[in-house]
Amino acid sequence: MTDTEQNTRPVRTYAPKVDLLETEAGLRLWADMPGVDESSLEVELVDDVLALRGRVAADEEALSPLHTEYGVGNYEARFRLSNEIDGGRIRATLKHGVLELELPKVEAAKPRRIEIAA
């Protein structure tokens, strides 16, 4: 091992539970990320791929649980978006461990009523 190499240990990564809803105005996405705070959350849009990453800061070595069902780990999910989504207007909020994204449609993709001339 050289001076520039570092030892790593495997980190568990979970896919968050996600709900997705489409409206006329766009998409709404909710992702469950318990234990993630705002400073440990990344939301990126690169080449129409939306990436969600949440890091949980927990000192697992200090814990000595007898039984665990709650998996403490990092979260990661990726979604390919259609070109109907306006990437410059995406908004994200985090509240009580739930990430909420508003993914608005571009104006051309929104349904519109066409007037009929008589």
Domain ranges of the chain: 13-60+70-109
pTM comes to: 0.75
What fold, for 13-60+70-109? Immunoglobulin-like (2.60.40)
* Model pLDDT, residue 13: 84
pLDDT tier at 112, thresholds 50, 70, 90:
confident
Higher per-residue pLDDT: 110 or 45:
45
pLDDT, one tens digit per residue, over 63-92 is: 666 776 665 678 999 999 988 999 999 999
Cα(100)–Cα(82) distance, integer angstroms: 19
